Amino acid sequence: MKSLFAIVLFFVITALRPAEKPSIKFIENSWPTALAKAKAEHKYIFVDAYATWCGPCKLLKSTTFADPEAAAFFNANFVNVSIDMEKGEGPKLAERWQVEAYPTLIIFDPEGKPVLGTAGFMKAKELIRFGKQALARK
């Protein structure tokens, strides 16, 4: 009887747990990790270069990156990395990549060479179009 109750309780808790919302899965603040993964998987790298104080960066994260269609496309086709350009390795990368505005979105090939970049907020459909443009340059 106790085991039956435990099993029923398990299924009730599992059913009531909120489902994970789809979003672009980012490696956080590690260009070397993203580069190594991209080389191993033969994928392009999608970089979200942001600053914590940036309003459009926050909006991008809560809307565009959480869009199911954008999440499916970027998770399937890219190694995604989100880098705070004001902390850790961020300032050196910002200088190397000439990041002057936030958010800056850059796509690199698996060797770390820039393919396509843009600055500013984008809606999900625009972001997917941006990703497809980069992949077309393969």
- List all residues 6 or more positions away from 68 whose beta carbon is below 8 Å from its beta carbon: 22
Grouped pLDDT means (10 residues each) for the chain, 138 residues: 48 51 95 98 98 98 98 98 97 97 98 97 98 94
Instruction: Report which residue type is found at 55.
Output: G
Residue 13 belongs to a domain: no
Tokens of 80: 């995604």
The domain of 52 spans 24-136
Residue 86 belongs to a domain: yes
Give pTM, 2 decimals.
0.85
Tokens of 105: 């979105």
Domain count, the chain: 1
Residue 18 belongs to a domain: no
> Where do the H-state alpha helices sit in 51-117?
55-59, 68-77, 90-97
Residue 7 belongs to a domain: no
pLDDT at 138: 77
List the CATH number of the domain containing 120.
Answer: 3.40.30.10
Residue 97 belongs to a domain: yes
Tokens of 22: 């789809």
